[in-house]
Each structure stands twice: as C-alpha cells, then as structure tokens.
C-alpha cells in the first residue's frame, strides 16, 4: 500500500498517550475553576438542594470548611450566594446594605480563617434580598427601574468590599452600573477590588435550580426579559461587553455557558480580555440527570464540558462541579 496514502497522517500523533498529551492544544487545571457556593443561616447546617443533586446550602461555619477544601485543591476563587431568610426580604432589598447580612458574615469568616489563600467573588444584584424576586427596584407598573436600582447596587458593592470581597460581580444587567460601582470603589480606596461583570447574561430557561437554591423561584413575579438579554442576540452581547469594559470592568462573564459558547468565542476574539463562563445550575442538573439515568459517565462529561469552555476562549469557568473536577485533575 506504499504510496496509497499522503505523507501526512493526522492519526499519527494520537497513537500514544504521551504523544496526545504533548500535542494537546488546550489544558484544564484547577486554577481555571471558580466554585459557586450557597450560604444559609444557622450553625452546623447543611441543606441539600433537591434540584441540584450533590449541591447544598451551608451555614457560615461549614462554608469556611468548604473554602479550605477548595483552597487545598487549588481552586483559586469562591463565588458566594446567600439564602436570605424571608423575614429579611423587602420590596427595596434593604438587607443588601446591612453590614451584618449573611453575605458579609460569610466573607469575614472565610477571610479570618484562610486569609489570602482563596479569592472571594460576590454577586451584586437585589434578587436574593427582594420580596418580589427581581434583581432591582420596581416601579408602580412593575418595570425594574434602572437608575434607582444602581444607587442601591453601589451601596451593596461597597458593603461587600468592606467585608472582604476581592471581586465584585454585578449580575443585575442594569445599564451603567459598572461605571457607578467602579467610581464608588475608587472613591472609597478599594482600588484593587476587581469587577467581573455579568456582561452578557441571557434571560435563560437554565436558571431554575439556582432559584431553588436561593429560594426565589416561588417569589418571582413575572420574568426578567426586560433587562436580561434575548437568547436570539449575539451582536448585542458585544455592545454590552464593550460598554462594561469602557466603564471599568476587569473581566466579563457570559451566562449561561455551553449554549452560548459562540458568545464566549466572539467576545474573546473581539476584545482579547479575560472572559469567564458560568456553567449554570440547569447545565449542572442535566449532567447529573444523565448520570442518574445511566446515560453518561460523570467524570468524562464534566471534564469534556469544562475543556470546551477553555477551548472556546474562556479564561475560567464558574461551575458547581469545581471540587469534583479539581479532584479528577489532581489524579
């Protein structure tokens, strides 16, 4: 068969494991992972979340232990989300400004125990604090008010920065909030507190289990389509990213993840800035459902999906599989 094939055989470098490793274009490490975690009231409390199998809410003391576990595995950052008790929720989300709220207590506790061993990213939006489940303040007609909401988001950001947040991550999608938050952080002397903007956050059907985790599914009146992006749009995502970068964002996020890999790639190629992807609760739940049905191997699926984010251009991934993936990667 000499001469029957071209000199180039693309299978040749795939023949041995060492060769596949040497030729590998994309590498995934625990340092690429951010672990979203849920904090709740009490002491010694772990509350499993049925729609997120394997994920729990933890009280502050147990969350400190989870933070230490993550740091030991080489995960560089936690993303914190509070389960605010019903009696602390209000139409104006005032609990977001309480310096002793659940988020701030968790920040101080982790910082006291772990110092700078792990980064702390905090969500900035009012939905964990409002009685109506929307990310901002409502007008009389139920429309989420942009400028009035920004004033509260600025206060929320400063509250979290004072408690020890390393990265402020506004997920509210109000126009102009990045510039207002950046100015406030600079004025208060928090010049090294980063902003990771949820710049391209879509009004997605994949958020359901998250709303269970922070107990807003039953509260939400209406939907979030007037401020989160239309899943049909990609040019608009570039405009959102461009605006947030101009206002002072250090990095940007695309949310959800796998259904929007094209957006990750477009943002990376257009702006050449750090881009993060959020593998959201619905994506996690689908993997776990496939595993439970015997239709998939968890280890292989977790690593393949995370690798896809990196291959698309993501600098890192927020994923509920972070600890599991980090363990696999350390083997």
Residue 169 burial class via C-beta count within 10 angstroms: exposed 0-12, middle 13-18, buried 19 and up: buried
Q: Which residues contact 110 (CB under 8 A, 6 or more apart)?
A: 63, 64, 67, 78, 118, 120, 164
Q: Between the CA of residue 249 and those of 89, 147, 243, 309, what are the distances in Å?
A: 29, 19, 9, 21
Residue 172 lies in a domain: yes
| 252 located within any domain | yes
Residue 209 pLDDT: 94
Residue 22 placed within a domain: no
Domain containing 44 equals 27-330
- At residue 8, the pLDDT reads 87
Please tell me the distance from the alpha carbon of residue 243 to that of residue 306, in angstroms, as a whole number.
28
Is 198:169 a contact under the CB 8 Å cutoff? Answer: yes
Give yes or no: 331 in active site.
Answer: no
Q: For the chain, what is the domain count?
A: 1
CB 314 within 8 A of CB 13: no
Q: Indicate whether 245 belongs to any domain.
A: yes
Q: Would residue 255 show up in a list of annotated catalytic residues for this protein?
A: yes
According to the model, what pLDDT value does residue 208 have?
Answer: 93
pLDDT of residue 331: 84
Q: How far is CA 133 from CA 218, 261, 324, in A?
A: 8, 28, 31
The reply to whether 93 falls in a domain is yes
- Catalytic entry in 201, 224, 268, 310: 201
Say which of 224, 255, 268, 310 is annotated catalytic. 255
User: Can you give the C-alpha Rg of the chain in angstroms?
Assistant: 21
Given this model, what pLDDT does residue 2 score? 60
* pLDDT of 3: 63
Rounded Cα distance between 144 and 139, Å, is: 6
Residue 65 in any domain: the answer is yes
CATH number at residue 89: 3.20.20.70
Residue 12 falls inside a structural domain: no
- Identify the pLDDT of residue 318: 98
Residue ranges in the chain whose pLDDT is less than 70: 1-3
Is 13 within the bounds of a domain? no
pTM, rounded to two decimals: 0.95
Q: Answer positive or negative: Cα dihedral of 22, 270, 176, 131.
A: negative
């Amino acid at each position: 068969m000499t001469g029957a094939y071209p000199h180039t055989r693309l299978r040749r470098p795939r023949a041995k494991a060492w060769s596949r490793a040497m030729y590998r274009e994309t590498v995934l490490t625990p340092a690429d992972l951010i672990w979203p975690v849920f904090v709740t009231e009490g002491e010694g409390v772990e509350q499993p979340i049925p729609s997120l199998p394997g994920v729990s809410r933890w009280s502050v003391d147990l969350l400190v232990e989870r933070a230490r576990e993550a740091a030991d595995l080489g995960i560089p950052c936690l993303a914190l989300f509070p389960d605010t008790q019903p009696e602390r929720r209000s139409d104006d989300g005032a609990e977001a400004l309480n310096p002793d709220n659940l988020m701030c207590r968790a920040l101080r506790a982790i910082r006291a125990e772990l110092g700078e061993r792990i980064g702390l990213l905090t969500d900035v939006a009012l939905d964990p604090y409002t009685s109506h489940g929307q990310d901002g303040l409502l007008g009389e007609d139920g429309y989420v008010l942009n400028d009035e909401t920004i004033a509260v988001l600025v206060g929320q950001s400063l509250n979290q920065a004072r408690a020890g947040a390393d990265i402020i991550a506004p997920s509210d999608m109000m126009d102009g909030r990045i510039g207002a938050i950046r100015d406030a952080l600079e004025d208060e002397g928090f010049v090294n507190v980063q902003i990771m903007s949820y710049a391209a956050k879509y009004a997605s059907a994949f958020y359901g289990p998250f709303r269970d985790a922070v107990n807003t599914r039953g509260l939400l009146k209406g939907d979030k389509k007037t401020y989160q992006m239309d899943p049909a749009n990609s040019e608009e995502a570039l405009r959102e990213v461009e605006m947030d970068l101009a206002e002072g964002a250090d990095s940007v996020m695309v949310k959800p993840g796998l259904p929007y890999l094209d957006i990750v790639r477009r943002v990376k190629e257009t702006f050449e800035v750090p881009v993060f992807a959020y593998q959201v609760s619905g994506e996690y739940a689908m993997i776990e459902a496939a595993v439970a049905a015997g239709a998939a191997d968890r280890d292989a699926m977790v690593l393949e999906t995370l690798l896809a984010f990196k291959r698309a251009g993501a600098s890192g991934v927020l994923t509920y599989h972070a600890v599991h993936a980090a363990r696999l990667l350390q083997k």
